[in-house]
Amino acid sequence: MRKLVLASNNAGKVRELAALLAPLQLEVIPQGALDIPSAEEPHHTFVENALAKARHASAASGLPALADDSGICAHALDGAPGVISARYAGEPANDAANNQKLIKDLQGKNNRGAHYVCALVFVNSANDPEPLIVQTRWYGSLIDEPKGANGFGYDPHFLLPELGLTAAELAPEQKNAISHRGQALRELIAELQSRNEWQTQRD
Ligand SMILES: O=P(O)(O)OP(=O)(O)OP(=O)(O)OC[C@H]1O[C@@H](n2cnc3c(O)ncnc32)[C@H](O)[C@@H]1O
Ligand SMILES: [Mg+2]
């Protein structure tokens, strides 16, 4: 079976990506299972960081790799925390501290609009000259009081106004059906299939 390394050490992301990839005939291997450490993420864009992660995991494993660089952008904060979402409150990364800082920074701001961003990059090999790149957004608004126990990261504060629920109140499959990551992975799979590189069980 074709193998794919998931170039992420975030358990929440790995869970979501693995569920979305489950219908494909692929052996999905999180990089942690191969003892591949996190890549450096020095760039100013999600796409560049995702590309660095994908190349890093592919170089270390000798396998095709899929990376996700994502984050949340608060509209009243000029898009912060953005690419530094994982380490907004400092290192090591801590979801609770990041959420607290974000809510504190939004105190007194009327505009609670925000969007998640997900950049996905697939490479066939470490030096792949044609990486496949998809970037998507998921819009919502940020609430002070956390609600819900599903998901990860900023999800308990990310309200979907049309549903009246936070991302952390959605079942995993509901979140994947509408999230930035779900949208991006469906697009990426369609691109890969149009290249004829992956077959699904439906084929
Ligand atoms: O780099 P990897 O190993 O993939 O893991 P990471 O957690 O460091 O991932 P990022 O560098 O892409 O940082 C993204 C951060 O944005 C947040 N984030 C991204 N997608 C999210 C989602 O679906 N729900 C909640 N928070 C999310 C979360 O805090 C992540 O830690
Ligand atoms: Mg990271």
d(CA 189, CA 191): 5
The architecture (CATH level 2) of 2-194 comes to Alpha-Beta Complex (3.90)
Q: Which residues contact 44 (CB under 8 A, 6 or more apart)?
A: 83
Where along the chain do its domains lie? 2-194
Above 90 in pLDDT, residue 189? yes
Determine the average pLDDT of the residues in 79-103: 97
d(CA 134, CA 122): 9
Chain segment 22-46, per-residue pLDDT in tens: 999 899 999 999 999 999 999 999 9
Look at residue 200 in the predicted model and tell me its pLDDT.
55
Chain segment 69-88, per-residue pLDDT in tens: 999 999 999 999 999 999 99
Q: Which tokens hold the place of 168?
A: 């952390």
Determine the average pLDDT of the residues in 95-108: 98
DSSP letter assigned to residue 179: S
Is the shortest distance between the CB of 85 and ligand 1 below 6 Å? yes
* Contact between 138 and 183 (Cβ < 8 Å): yes
Look at residue 196 in the predicted model and tell me its pLDDT.
76
Determine the average pLDDT of the residues in 117-129: 98
Q: Which residues contact 164 (CB under 8 A, 6 or more apart)?
A: none
Determine the average pLDDT of the residues in 115-138: 98
Look at residue 199 in the predicted model and tell me its pLDDT.
57
DSSP β-ladder status, 26-30 and 2-6? parallel
Torsion of CA 16, 134, 139, 17, to 10 degrees: 0
Is the shortest distance between the CB of 68 and ligand 1 below 6 Å? yes
Above 80 in pLDDT, residue 201? no
Interval between CA 7 and ligand 1 midpoint (Å) = 12
